[in-house]
Amino acid sequence: MTGVDTVTPWPMYIGGVHRMSERVSPVFDPGNGMTVATVPAASSEDALEALAVARMGKDIAANMPTHQRMRILHQTADLIRDRRESFAVLIATESSKTIREARKEVDRCVDTFRLSAEEARRQGGEVIKFDQAPGSENRVGYWQSGPVGVVLAITPFNDPLNLVAHKVGPAIATGNAIIIKPSELTPLSALKLAETLYEAGLPGPILSVLTGLAADIGDLLVQDPGVRMVSFTGGLKTGTHIAHQAGLKKISMELGSNSPVIVLADANLEAAAKASVSGAFWAAGQNCLGVQRIFCEDSIYEEMKERIVQLTGAIRVGDKMDESTDMGPLITEREATRIANWVNEAKSQGAHVLTGGVRKGSYYQPTVLDQVSSGLIVLEEEVFGPVVSLMAVKDLDSAIQQANSVNYGLQAGVFTRDIGKAFDAIKKLQVGGVMINDSSDYRIDAMPFGGVKGSGIGREGVHFAAEAMTEQKVVCFNV
């Protein structure tokens, strides 16, 4: 599998073994709607087989020496780096990303596997001072980390390579078996990654990739008692359903947001505008960290509005493979239509479209709104598209109050030169991360990543995902 040939059937993997099916799921290029490949539509029988293989794979993984895990992860990173362009073309073909955005995702994926390899050597424990308790003077011991066993990872379409890596890398580093269920819209990157891991020496039973519709196999996988952890990235509605279905097992969920940026009057307005526009329209706004609400103090509102509209209007929308393109299509025409409907609803309630607001097929022009009434869906929910709303506020407290008023809290950006106001925002914003003089979109793969309220449970980022994929065992000697 060195590229994407038109309507080529790709296999899925159960324990490292190719698996085809008479039932297939098409994979489309969002830019032109053409079918670029088909993948198997996994059945309940396939899911049960993958679960059985994973139960064997977890023992192989748990007994794999640390140096072997590290070698496999580093070798995988090397292979991805060497095949950077083919991975990038694949991402750009099956997803919304431009070729330039796709290359950045590949680079991040390489870093994710490097971090995972280093994390493997850090899995350990520490000595417990048992003699701190009266009567335990003759006891010595420690606690150590061990794998949970079988991890189920369900991944979205917007980062089809690196978000899979964020689950697979830590799972391997900590000695777990893992079953990946990638988005039915973008399964090819996950399949190519699995193939690369097997080539790097990963024993087949440790990893399976099941393709097709989650509706066919999702509940079966989530409910299985042999799955000891579910790691999900996606929407709040689906995450809530998974939480209800999972039962007594570990759950990690990153469920998106409608991230705010606050720009105070003392900020560097040029930098704030550039960062906010980049953060709003990266990957056509299909980004859980994407800037969706921008709060500007009254005195600078008009200048910020002018800057943001000018920068947004300069964004080049078009062919994903064109090196000059800044933004591609939405993942489906249905998504573009949904976003158009949300914007039209806001317009009907008095919102102004300052630029954009035009749909053509699966493409939606980068759109800036103002005069948006509180309570509208474009403010309350996750747009997950190229739409940002501007709002004037009296001061920092007013901005924080409005930023916190929704049922999400992933990350926020704050632009100010006042260190006191920065720390005030850090304390009061109900989010998982506060970026000072950066947009909400800033992230590196080593940091803890996650949110509060409807934005999820737990934290991703390699070290923190690895911790979540382990259990602690206490060892005590009575000497």
Cα 328 to chain centroid, rounded = 19
Q: Which of 195, 288, 335, 467 does the annotation list as catalytic? A: 288
Distance CA 337, CA 7 (A): 26
Q: Is residue 109 annotated as part of the catalytic site, yes or no?
A: no
Burial classification of residue 257, based on how many CB atoms lie within 10 Å of its CB (0-12 exposed, 13-18 middle, 19 or more buried): buried
Torsion angle of C-alpha atoms 463, 469, 472, 473, degrees rounded to 10: -130
Q: Is residue 254 annotated as part of the catalytic site, yes or no?
A: yes
Torsion angle of C-alpha atoms 212, 215, 221, 224, degrees rounded to 10: -160
Burial classification of residue 82, based on how many CB atoms lie within 10 Å of its CB (0-12 exposed, 13-18 middle, 19 or more buried): exposed
Cα 343 to chain centroid, rounded = 25
How distant, in Å, are the alpha carbons of 342, 374, 469 from that of 175? Answer: 45, 48, 9
Q: Which of 254, 382, 460, 467 does the annotation list as catalytic? A: 254
**Closest Cα to residue 57, out of 240, 164, 202, 224?**
202
Q: Strand pairing partners for 99?
A: none
Cβ atoms within 10 Å of 319's Cβ, excluding its own: 16
Asked whether 145 and 123 are in contact (CB, 8 A), the reply is: yes
How distant, in Å, are the alpha carbons of 15, 16, 20, 48, 179 from that of 44? Answer: 16, 18, 14, 6, 14
How distant, in Å, are the alpha carbons of 37, 76, 94, 158, 183 from that of 17? Answer: 19, 18, 23, 27, 20
Catalytically active residues are 254, 288
